[in-house]
Chains A and B, each alone.
Chain A
Amino acid sequence: AQKITQTQPGMFVQEKEAVTLDCTYDTSDPSYGLFWYKQPSSGEMIFLIYQGSYDQQNATEGRYSLNFQKARKSANLVISASQLGDSAMYFCAMSAHGSGNTGKLIFGQGTTLQVKP
C-alpha cells in the first residue's frame, strides 16, 4: 500500500536560515508524483512544488527545492532563507496510482514549522 511518512511533528528555524522537512514514501509503482503543500493557520492548502518519479533533476520553485532521493524513497523539502510567513504546517503528498485511483492524493501527517525572528 502507498504511504507517506513525515517523522518531524514540529520544527523551529531561525529567520533567514535554511530548513529541511523530511518525507519518506512507500510505493510499489514505478510511476508516481510527489507534492508538497503548505497549510497556514487559515486552513487553505497551498501548492508549493512537484517532483515526478522519472524526473532526473530535483525540482525547484523559488525558495523551495525538493531533495529527491529515489533509492532511499525520500522527498525532502528544503526552504532557503526562511521568512516569518513560512510558519505553517507542511504536508508531503503522493499521487495514488492505479487505473481506478484518479484524483487522489495520499498525505503524510504533516510537520509544523515555526520561524523565529
Chain B
Amino acid sequence: KAGVTQTPRYLIKTRGQQVTLSCSPISGHRSVSWYQQTPGQGLQFLFEYFSETQRNKGNFPGRFSGRQFSNSRSEMNVSTLELGDSALYLCASSKETGLSYEQYFGPGTRLTVT
C-alpha cells in the first residue's frame, strides 16, 4: 500500500508570494491533517479535512488555508508569505478520526521563504 505523498518536497519562495502544497493520503483514508514544524515552535496543528470539509483549525492566521477534494487529496495554501513561514509542512492521513486512530505522515514539504 502506498504511503502518504507530498509534493513538492522542497520549495523556495520570496516574501509576499503565495504557495500551494499538495498531499495525497493513503488509499482509503478520509481524514487529512496538516502540521507546521519549526525548531522554535515544534509541531503545530494547522487544520484537518474530512470528506471535503474542514472540521478543525489550529491557531494560524487566515493566510493559511486548505481544501480537500473528492478523492481525499488535500492542498494547503499560504498567501503573502512571511519569513516566519519557513518550516517543514507535514500532512498526515487517517482512516477515520477519533482518539484511537493513528495518523500516518508524509515526508513533508520543506518551505524556505527568503
- A contact residues vs B (CB 8 Å cutoff): 31-33, 35, 37, 42-47, 50, 52-53, 91, 95-97, 100-110
Closest chain B CB from A111 CB (angstroms): 12
Interface residue ranges of B47-106 to A (CB < 8 Å): 48-50, 55-56, 58, 88, 90, 92, 94, 97-106
User: Which among B32, B103, B106 is the interface contact of A105 at CB below 8 angstroms?
Assistant: B103
Q: What residues of B have a CB within 8 angstroms of the CB of A50 in the complex?
A: 100, 102
In the complex, what residues of B have CB within 8 A of residue A106's CB? 45
The answer to whether B111 has its CB under 8 Å from any CB of chain A is no
Q: Determine whether the beta carbon of A46 is less than 8 Å from that of B105.
A: yes
Residues of A with C-beta under 8 A to B105: 37, 44-47
Contact of B56 among A32, A104, A107 (CB under 8 A): A104
Q: A33 near B99 (CB under 8 angstroms)? A: yes
Number of A-B contacts defined by CB within 8 Å: 75
Q: For the side of the interface on B, what is the size category?
A: 20 to 34
Closest-CB distance, B111 to chain A (whole angstroms) = 12
Minimum CB distance partner of A31 in chain B: B99
Contact yes or no, B50 A103, CB < 8 A:
yes
Bound complex: CA of A96 vs CA of B35, how far in Å? 14
Least Cβ distance of A47 to chain B in Å?
A: 5
Known: A45-B92, A47-B103. A103 touches B48 (CB 8 A): yes
**Bound Cα distance A46, B105 (Å):** 7
Check: B31 CB closer than 8 A to any chain A CB.
Answer: yes
Q: Contact: A107 with B48, CB < 8 Å?
A: no
Given A43-B110, A102-B56, also A110-B100 (CB < 8 A): no
